[in-house]
Structure 1
Amino acid sequence: MNFYYSFFVVFSIAFSIHANAQEHPNLILTKSGVETIKKQLGTIPIFDTTLNKVKNAIDQEIASGIHVPIPKDMAGGYTHDRHKKNWITLQQAGVLYQLLADDKYAKYVHDVLKEYAKIYPTLPLHPQTRSYARGKIFWQCLNDSNWLVYVSQAYDCIYDYLSKKERDNLEKNLFIPYANFLSEGSPQFFNRIHNHSTWGNVAVGMIGLVMDNQELIDRALYGLKSDNIDPNQKDNDGGFIKTKGQKTGFLANLDEPFSPDGYYTEGPYYQRYAMYPFMIFAEALQNKKPELKIFEYKNGVLIKAVYALLNLTNANGEFFPLNDGQKGMSYYSRELVSAVNIAYHFGGNDPSLLSIAKQQNRIQLDDTGLSVALGIQQKKAKPFIKKSIELRDGSDGTQGSVGILRSKNQQFGLVMKYTAQGLSHGHYDKLSFSYYNKGNEILQDYGLARFVNIEQKNGGGYLKENKTWAKQSIAHNTIIQDEISHFEGKFKIGSTHHSEKYLFDVSNPKLQIVSAKEDNAYPGTNLHRTMLVLEDNDFENPLVIDVMQFKSKTTHQFDLPFYYNGQIIDTNFEYSSPETLTKVGEKNGYQHLWLEGKSILKEERTLQTTWKTNQTFYTLSTLAKQNDEFLFTRIGANDPNFNLRRDPSFLIRKPKQEEGVFISVVEAHGSYNYVTEIANNAHSNIKKITKNSTKNKNYVSWSILTKKDKKHTFVLCTTDSNNKTSHTITINGKPFSWVGPYTHNKEN
């Protein structure tokens, strides 16, 4: 409370001092910044190129006339897309007016806003009733907020172009009622901790800054004082709206979802989406109220968040689809162009950010974009190196983490998720992982079940399969007990728990390790997953080693799927294929899996399956015991509308066990040339995997034997992760001594 009170006092004093000294623009563009930019026009290639592209696009829009239709459509429909296009067009036209001093752009912005001011007082709630918080211009308040965040910038740019009478008309009939509707009129949307509310807070705050309306600014920063929200009300995703007594507003949305490392608990896809309002409002506050030092809030978490996001990408710059995440979204999005520019300008001019901006090949048309453009022109850019990193989750960093292991050349990436639930966009997949090589998904996370802004698919909204499939544990590369999702697939249970980091060690680039435990996904069952990346001359590429341990008080069935991309080449075991497809199960996502093949093991052995992804071969080697099962499955059952991808998987099943371990190795090897039609090194180099005998249950040990009889033995202490503890145990009659929680021994 002390910080909030102090922040409020400072803000109020600062406002009273400057209230009578406002000049426009002063949010994203500044009056002095505009003059500096004008002097540089024609001399900075990336700025000039971006400006010309924007000008051409806006000139075409102006020529097409004014389009302000009465709202009626869902996402992807005409009215939705038209109003969405308007918010971008208005914002960019306002910028062009400032930078080119051409009144046609200001006139266009004003003419469009007058049309909105005519219809807004007459608009009821949007006719589509799908949202927990219906908008007026759009089907949900979220999109209404998007509109106001952008249009506030346009209004700021033409503010001085307008007469007082014209401003009064826009504020009385459009902006003030709009801001009141988003906040006081929609408390279930505005007063919560969620990316939706961040957009709402920022929309109200941005227009409040333009109009110097302190009441709106305070609402944005601190939330509504009273909202009468039912704490058990759910949003469209099944997430609860608000916890009783929870702080709300922009500052609370900085405090709660962000960890000290800048990781956003909903996952990178929604962090990307939320970074625009977070960063653009921060820029506006920094420009208009620099004494507030918003970029220093929570130890500079906003700047850290940009770096976290950049690290949450594969070699192609695409975000890892943790939780609800659409594949293909990348740091080439406009949100990240803006975020990188702002982080560079206000975060210390880090030259590595310039290399990202060069790849993006466009900038934000403001002071921050000018800084980036000048830095690139002056050849200050340095490579942005994505290293192995652990990003903590939780407001204080104690609610698990995401661990990323990378090869030195940054082409290889292993992502292990051991986080908190991730609010309503979270999935039930504790201890899951995905694996990338050369920018390709090799073992994938499904992501979300949604076709964003494609009207034919549920109006662009989430599909029912997002709940019945994508959120369920079986949709991920993680362990499942008795065909039941973690926490029974219930948000209220999952949101009260998080996994616990056990070990993250990347000090040795030749052997990196991430390890975490989960004791709440299933009552009475303890789960512990350890993943290692071994780089050794015995193997052509980095080796992924996966050790998934489980221990329960009662007997259960345990499944471990691996969702691969590619075509199966070979197996070293026999299996049966059904003539008629049947479902793997009846619920919790299993009803969406077809069974395409099955093998029941008669004896303990190392099973191997090789597949090809693009031009590289991959082999999954896994140690299987007698009566274990190996299933070939494919997504697509119970999906009459073809809402799901037909992706394949391997599923390893251990029936009727209380405790045990899945030990698997994923090996990238060889290549195939489509021109010469020559396959090179298409066979695995692994002969077998063995689990070693140890009398001490505090340790697990296994060995990997190559076809050249090179033996790699690993030992992990599962109860003491201290890197200074000394260990001595006997494995298969042979003593092993080492310091630290794990060791690796190679025998020729």
Structure 2
Amino acid sequence: MRLNNKTQLFRIITLLIIVTIIGCKEASTNEQGDEKVDKIVSANSDHPKLILTKAGVESIRKQLGNIPIFDNTLKAVQEEIDAEIALGIDTPIPKDYSGGYTHVRHKRNMIVLQKAGVLYQILNDEKYAKYVKDMLMQYEAMYKTLPVHPKTRSYARGKLFWQCLNDSNWLVYVSQAYDCIYNYLTEEERNKLETNLFKPFADFISVDNPQFYQRVHNHSTWGNAAVGMIGLVMNDEELIDRALYGIKGAEMDKTAKDDDGGFINKDGKAGFLANIEEPFSPDGYYNEGPYYQRYAMYPFLVFAEGLHNVKPELKIFEYKEGVLLKSINALLNLSDADGEFFPLNDGQKGMSYYNDALVTAVDISYHFGAQDPGLLSIAEKQNKVLLDDSGLAVALGIKNGKAKPFAKKSINLSDGPDGKQGGVGILRNEDIELVFKYAAQGSSHGHYDKLSYSLYENGEEIIQDYGLARFVNIEQKGGGNYLKENKTWAKQTIAHNTVTQNETSHYNGDFEIGSKHNPELNYFSTENESVQVVSAKEANAYPGTEMLRTMAIIKDEDLEKPYVLDIMKLVSNKANQYDFPYYFLGQVLNSNFEYKIPSTLKPLGDKNGYQHLYVEGSAKANKDNTKFSWLNKGKFYTLTAVTNTNDEILFTRIGANDPAFNLRREAAIMLRRKNTKNTLFVSTIEAHGSYSPVSESAVNSNSSIKELKVILDTDQYTAIEITNVKGNTKLFITINKNASKETKHTLKINDKDYDWSGSYYFK
């Protein structure tokens, strides 16, 4: 039916009136709601905000093609992720330990997700967002019905992985990916992921596993960061609060141990802030040692960066006087000339600042710290940066020519939350580095090695610390986890370059006892570049025995290279057997004593690490000085030790009672002194000369130290005379107690007066 013109006009006018009325009504009723609408829009559009930021993405896009190290990193990541996308998505049902396929695949997935999210933001290419979404949806479908991991070894089993630690790793990375594609997803998709995956995941690793989450340990740091970072992305204040301060009101077993011997914090301290407060000393030393500091720095720093970006009012980088940023400088100083971390406590040799966690540490430290140009030189060596705001800052700094060498000097790093639980002293003189450990127990990853040391020349080990007994992520070796030999050998005192009394480890190898005590610094002196000294004492490793060790690197104009002087003073209330090993690396050259080789190899003992040492040779010291030389990687080394005719000399080799060949077959020379109360072990170690297999020439292959002699030893002073082959004699006097730098001393030795101020005398 056709309508006439008047009818049509009437209907149009009526419709306009209705629309106007409705519009006015909506306008009036929504005046108060405008703020809410704006907040919703803002909340949905303020991503990324966690590590990448909106402003940072804009800056990066403007600089692309003009920042070489960033551009190259971006290109490499894009090629890597494009290859992964071409392979398709695989989220297998978990079943393996570390090193197995499902473990490696889920670990790979978390890294790929994080990188793909970043590529979506920087390149604005939807294929990366879709890839992240599709994989997350597969995890969402899996996680709803996923049981606890079938492997039962861990004290806190995960779901995707055999332990909650790795589940936490996953969520730390994946929270960054979720942040990057947040706005790409619909509200319905976000609700689905948060309800079925992220919130249950965060609850599982925290409230469902308080024995993992509610303590001070690198494991818990990962858990705290995981819960907090996904909380920041989801704007979930409950999760953020739980991350910062721990679980509230949870009933927990105060004696629950983990598989490494750790404990839920008995003082109730937990959460991210407690994990900053307790393990770090004011100098930035992390009590578990540099290997685990490297591992923990990633969650520490990325969560801190997220907090800085989302909750700047917390001033997280200023917490505990800025210790997080200080710790990066400390960690870099705990590496040798090649950037490899000293293997203090449980530490895998070869771990270095080329690890991705240290790329994160260097970039964040530069961006949020004082923009130290020395960090840029390390970033140049790493040859990659983070694809975020901090990586851009580093890339621009390098491009603008601001990089300067990172200068490593002698440094003393205190241990303990207040800096009063011992420490680590590093002496550096030319190419020689001495690492002296007088630190506290080091949590569950600590070793029983008070007053031990290791020695390096230009990044090569001279006297080694064994490190840990583990083949990380190699499935064929114990599922890639700690081997039993870590406890039976690597942690034991005899595995280290320090004194073992009566074939018993320090603190009787007891974690609880060890955690109550620590050595104390006597003095640390590096003002004189030619004579650098560290001295510390330990009075609790063996009841009734006090150990005082003083170590110096001395540059003498008569010698080719700086040498080490080592003075270990033992005072006891009873007679003991003391074993004093030197774990040298290289080929034996010669000695000034005759030794016997057994026809059958037998272990040195039956427990406390002795069961893992074969005796390959034995001798009686027949001179006042015992000398032993070896060759390692084209360089010569000589040990000169003060001995007496009752001393035994043992050649040992690691490997006894090790049918699975889990231990490295490395050697030591050991001094054994029996039935002795008070004594001194005094020695020097010289680095000298070189050998070229090309020219087949040996240069300066002999020791330059002729004689080492103790000329005084009292409660207050110990004096050592060092005579070289030229006949020149130097005297080193160390102060054994009350070694103030300001104190004046007057001492008569052999009718000669010595006057000086300070902790030691050398002339």
TM-score (norm. length: structure 1): 0.96
Q: 2: CA distance between counterparts of 1:32 and 1:730?
A: 71
Aligned ranges 1:108-507 → 2 under 5 Å: 108-239=131-262, 241-407=263-429, 409=430, 411-507=431-527
Aligned ranges 1:535-684 → 2 under 5 Å: 535-602=555-622, 604-684=623-703
Q: 1: CA distance between counterparts of 2:239 and 2:654?
A: 48
Q: 1: CA distance between counterparts of 2:329 and 2:178?
A: 31
Q: Please state if 1:717 is matched with 2:735.
A: yes
Q: 1: CA distance between counterparts of 2:266 and 2:215?
A: 10
Aligned-partner residue type, residue 370 of structure 2: G
Correspondent of 2:718 among 675, 694, 700: 700
Q: 1:120–1:173: 8 Å Cα contact kept in structure 2?
A: yes
Q: 1: CA distance between counterparts of 2:447 and 2:40?
A: 46
Q: 2: CA distance between counterparts of 1:516 and 1:220?
A: 38
Q: 2:341–2:350: 8 Å Cα contact kept in structure 1?
A: yes
User: What's the offset of the Cα at 1:304?
Assistant: 0.2
Q: 2: CA distance between counterparts of 1:700 and 1:673?
A: 40
Aligned-partner residue type, residue 722 of structure 1: S
Q: Percent identity?
A: 60
Point out where structure 1 has 5 or more consecutive residues left out of the alignment: 1-16
Judging changes above 3 Å, is the alpha-carbon distance between structure 1 residues 19 and 191 closer, same or farther for their aligned structure 2 residues? farther
User: What's the offset of the Cα at 1:727?
Assistant: 1.4
Q: 2: CA distance between counterparts of 1:544 and 1:50?
A: 43
Q: 2: CA distance between counterparts of 1:21 and 1:468?
A: 58
User: What's the offset of the Cα at 1:699?
Assistant: 1.1
Listed one character per residue, the Cα deviations across residues 470-515 of structure 1 (whole Å, up to 9, x for unaligned) are 0000111011100100001110100111110001000000000000
Aligned-partner residue type, residue 692 of structure 1: I
Q: 2: CA distance between counterparts of 1:380 and 1:209?
A: 34
User: Which deviates further from its counterpart, 515-524 or 722-731?
Assistant: 722-731
User: What's the offset of the Cα at 1:599?
Assistant: 1.0
Q: 1: CA distance between counterparts of 2:508 and 2:558?
A: 43
User: Which deviates further from its counterpart, 284-293 or 534-543?
Assistant: 284-293
Task: State the secondary structure of the residue aligned to 1:148.
Answer: helix
Q: 1:191–1:227: 8 Å Cα contact kept in structure 2?
A: no
Q: 2: CA distance between counterparts of 1:374 and 1:724?
A: 47
For 1:7, the equivalent position in structure 2 comes to none
Q: 2: CA distance between counterparts of 1:252 and 1:337?
A: 25
Point out where structure 2 has 5 or more consecutive residues left out of the alignment: 1-37
Q: 2: CA distance between counterparts of 1:585 and 1:245?
A: 40
Q: 2:340–2:351: 8 Å Cα contact kept in structure 1?
A: yes
Structure ID, larger Rg: 2
Q: 2: CA distance between counterparts of 1:155 and 1:310?
A: 32
Correspondent of 1:688 among 703, 707, 720: 707
Q: 1:704–1:711: 8 Å Cα contact kept in structure 2?
A: yes
Task: State the secondary structure of the residue aligned to 2:547.
Answer: strand
Listed one character per residue, the Cα deviations across residues 11-33 of structure 1 (whole Å, up to 9, x for unaligned) are xxxxxx99984310000100111
User: Which deviates further from its counterpart, 623-632 or 321-330?
Assistant: 623-632
Task: State the secondary structure of the residue aligned to 1:583.
Answer: coil
Aligned-partner residue type, residue 740 of structure 1: G
User: What's the offset of the Cα at 1:619?
Assistant: 0.2
Aligned-partner residue type, residue 529 of structure 1: R
Q: 2: CA distance between counterparts of 1:246 and 1:648?
A: 45
Task: State the secondary structure of the residue aligned to 1:305.
Answer: helix
Q: 1: CA distance between counterparts of 2:295 and 2:265?
A: 23
Aligned-partner residue type, residue 185 of structure 1: D
Task: State the secondary structure of the residue aligned to 1:582.
Answer: coil
User: What's the offset of the Cα at 1:564?
Assistant: 0.7
Q: 2: CA distance between counterparts of 1:200 and 1:741?
A: 45
Task: State the secondary structure of the residue aligned to 2:264.
Answer: coil
User: What's the offset of the Cα at 1:584?
Assistant: 0.9
Q: 1: CA distance between counterparts of 2:498 and 2:40?
A: 56
Task: State the secondary structure of the residue aligned to 2:722.
Answer: strand
Listed one character per residue, the Cα deviations across residues 435-474 of structure 1 (whole Å, up to 9, x for unaligned) are 0001101101100000000000010000000000000001
For 1:9, the equivalent position in structure 2 comes to none
Aligned-partner residue type, residue 187 of structure 2: K
For 1:729, the equivalent position in structure 2 comes to 747
Listed one character per residue, the Cα deviations across residues 39-65 of structure 1 (whole Å, up to 9, x for unaligned) are 111111100100010000100100101
Q: 1:597–1:633: 8 Å Cα contact kept in structure 2?
A: yes
User: Which deviates further from its counterpart, 305-314 or 348-357?
Assistant: 348-357
Q: 1:76–1:459: 8 Å Cα contact kept in structure 2?
A: yes
Aligned-partner residue type, residue 245 of structure 2: Y
Listed one character per residue, the Cα deviations across residues 357-411 of structure 1 (whole Å, up to 9, x for unaligned) are 000000000000000000000110011000000000000100001000001x4x3
Listed one character per residue, the Cα deviations across residues 504-537 of structure 1 (whole Å, up to 9, x for unaligned) are 0000000000000000000000000000110011
User: Which deviates further from its counterpart, 196-205 or 726-735?
Assistant: 726-735
Runs of 4+ with deviation above 2 angstroms:
17-22, 226-229, 243-246, 732-735
Q: 1:19–1:212: 8 Å Cα contact kept in structure 2?
A: no
User: Which deviates further from its counterpart, 51-60 or 726-735?
Assistant: 726-735
Total equivalences in the alignment: 724
Aligned-partner residue type, residue 67 of structure 1: D
Task: State the secondary structure of the residue aligned to 1:269.
Answer: helix
Listed one character per residue, the Cα deviations across residues 216-262 of structure 1 (whole Å, up to 9, x for unaligned) are 000000001133222222111122x2232331100000000000000
Q: 1: CA distance between counterparts of 2:487 and 2:189?
A: 48
Q: 1: CA distance between counterparts of 2:358 and 2:283?
A: 18
Aligned-partner residue type, residue 618 of structure 1: Y
Listed one character per residue, the Cα deviations across residues 129-161 of structure 1 (whole Å, up to 9, x for unaligned) are 000000000000000000000000000000000
User: What's the offset of the Cα at 1:713?
Assistant: 1.1
Q: 1:543–1:665: 8 Å Cα contact kept in structure 2?
A: yes
Q: 1:629–1:653: 8 Å Cα contact kept in structure 2?
A: yes
Task: State the secondary structure of the residue aligned to 1:559.
Answer: strand
User: What's the offset of the Cα at 1:732?
Assistant: 2.6
Q: 2: CA distance between counterparts of 1:699 and 1:473?
A: 27
Q: 2: CA distance between counterparts of 1:697 and 1:159?
A: 69
TM-score (norm. length: structure 2): 0.94
Listed one character per residue, the Cα deviations across residues 684-705 of structure 1 (whole Å, up to 9, x for unaligned) are 01111111045x4321111111
Aligned ranges 1:79-118 → 2 under 5 Å: 79-118=102-141
Q: 1:693–1:732: 8 Å Cα contact kept in structure 2?
A: no
For 1:522, the equivalent position in structure 2 comes to 542
Q: Please state if 1:67 is matched with 2:90.
A: yes
User: What's the offset of the Cα at 1:735?
Assistant: 2.2
Task: State the secondary structure of the residue aligned to 1:626.
Answer: coil
